[in-house]
Chain A
């Protein structure tokens, strides 16, 4: 019998024992939110007690709503997180992350710049993995926005049926350095090809706005909810450069 199967049996037969079993998970999550600034460190035990009390009240709801499709431990973490967010709203206590004047992402509570950047790069990759159908188009538009040269693979991943003429045209414009080309010119070239791929009649402005909206969405996701980071388009470029050239940050 797997651990997950034991958890499911406990949820039905002895949910209080299950809550006790997962006390360590509750403590780990609360510690992370203290580090993130949602709670004060001195309120740790109170927060853990509050969350445990809430969990005991939620047992009937958990028993009726959990249907075994996910791992119980993951489902439990979602429940605890939601309780923490509500508790945070109740307490409204934050610890702001100090920032260097140059806008870097150093968190003084961690003290290890390289680890932090690697964590952010990993977080950025996770964000990209949440985009399923839109991902090829998003990656192409991110490259265009940050003037990163396009490759054949970029174009065919986004538009598998791209004609030779369109391919050659895109590579001629964006296959090499195009730093001096402005956004409007870029999207004037890309939009007709995009419309052929999507069988739509998007305007140049609509495509540019879509790209901007996705960049801002990525920034909000990077910064977290509640916000714990202060990413901007410049720091995003670092992460994007790292994504497309994984060894860049090691130089």
Chain B
């Protein structure tokens, strides 16, 4: 069986560095079917520069120009190269098409994801700034007003870092004494603050919001205080002081 070598220069050149007899024949075949571009690059470059090979090819072409019957048959070498090239282009085009589809899909998914993320984001930045502690979670909302309201409410329950520390530290350090409301108690409308402390004639009671805003401050000789002003739902703190000494810090919730 004859071995056909594709896309190589083996067999195209003779020992004298010019084209071999088969090289000339192949070039003539390629010229007759307009497929010179399929020939090996080295062959084209050599013929480009070599007058002797051009002359040989030209003479052979003129001798065989009457023989058109063979052009209808598939050429053993040129057809194979042409099919190989077509297959390579086909594969290349397919890969390019897949790549293009992949990129387009990626862009569409990115844009789609961006649209969804935009829809779930808070409507403006000022609302998000009301959220103090990280522990307060964003509440998913159906609409912008609901989101804002929920964020504001949640913010009223956020803890004050300074007062929280005092709540824990003072309650640990002091000897037990009875107070009301107890820490974390949920209170309703009117709040009756009570305490029992030995060796203290008068105290100053201060009621604060969770933002450390002073809502009420009174100095008392008695050991109770009624606070009847309406408080919005939220977390609040109260502290008892005697002169400059902090006696107690408590916290309660209003709902």
Contacts and interface: CB of A to CB of B under 8 A. Distances in A.
Interface in A46-74: 65-71, 73-74
B54 A221 contact: yes
Contacts of B59: 81, 224-225
Given A77-B64, A78-B21, A4 B58 contact: no
A68 B3 CA distance: 8
A102 to B, nearest CB: 26
B201 interface: no
Interface stretch (B22-30, B110-118, B120-128, B140-148): B22-30
Given A75-B22, A81-B63, A70 B51 contact: no
B229 interface: no
Interface in A216-234: 217, 220-221, 224-225
Interface string B57-90: 1111111101100100111110000000000000
Given A2-B74, A69-B76, A77-B28, 19 more contacts: A29-B63, A32-B62, A65-B20, A68-B3, A68-B77, A69-B11, A70-B77, A71-B76, A74-B26, A74-B29, A75-B21, A77-B64, A78-B21, A78-B22, A78-B28, A82-B21, A129-B31, A132-B44, A224-B58
Contacts of A171: none
Contacts of B3: 67-68
B66 A81 contact: no
20 contacts: A4-B70, A4-B73, A66-B22, A67-B4, A69-B11, A69-B76, A69-B77, A70-B26, A71-B29, A71-B70, A73-B64, A74-B25, A74-B29, A75-B22, A77-B60, A78-B24, A126-B61, A131-B48, A217-B51, A225-B55
**Which of B5, B59, B64, B66 has the most chain A CB atoms inside 10 A of its CB?**
B59
A69 B57 contact: no
B51 A2 contact: no
**Which of B36, B58, B75 has the most chain A CB atoms inside 10 A of its CB?**
B58
A48 to B, nearest CB: 15
Interface of B: 2-5, 11-12, 20-22, 24-26, 28-29, 31, 36, 44-45, 47-49, 51, 54-64, 66-67, 70, 73-77
Contact of B25 (A25, A77, A220): A77
A221 B55 CA distance: 6
**Which of B25, B36, B67 has the most chain A CB atoms inside 10 A of its CB?**
B25
A28 B11 CA distance: 28
A139 B22 CA distance: 29
Contacts of A109: none
Contact of B63 (A4, A32, A67, A225): A32
Contact of B36 (A70, A73, A129): A129
B240 to A, nearest CB: 88
Interface residues of A, number: 38
B11 A74 contact: no
Q: For chain A, what secondary structure do more than half of its interface residues adopt (helix, strand, loop), or is it mixed?
A: helix
B70 A68 contact: no
A132 B36 contact: yes
A67 B5 contact: yes
A79 interface: yes
Contact of A75 (B12, B25, B62, B67): B25
Given A75-B22, A132-B48, A225-B59, A68 B76 contact: yes
A73 B64 CA distance: 9
Contacts of A25: 67
Nearest to A67: B11
Contacts of B70: 3-4, 71, 73-74
A41 to B, nearest CB: 18
A231 to B, nearest CB: 13
B55 A220 contact: yes
Contacts of B57: 130
Contacts of A71: 25, 29, 70, 73, 75-76
A126 B5 contact: no
Instruction: Give me the 4 closest cross-chain CB pairs, A-B, nearest first.
Output: A70-B25, A68-B2, A70-B26, A75-B25
Nearest to B37: A132
Given A3-B70, A129-B31, A74 B60 contact: yes
**Which of A66, A77, A80 has the most chain B CB atoms inside 10 A of its CB?**
A77
A134 interface: yes
Given A69-B11, A132-B36, A132-B44, A2 B73 contact: yes
B67 A67 contact: no
Contacts of A65: 20-22
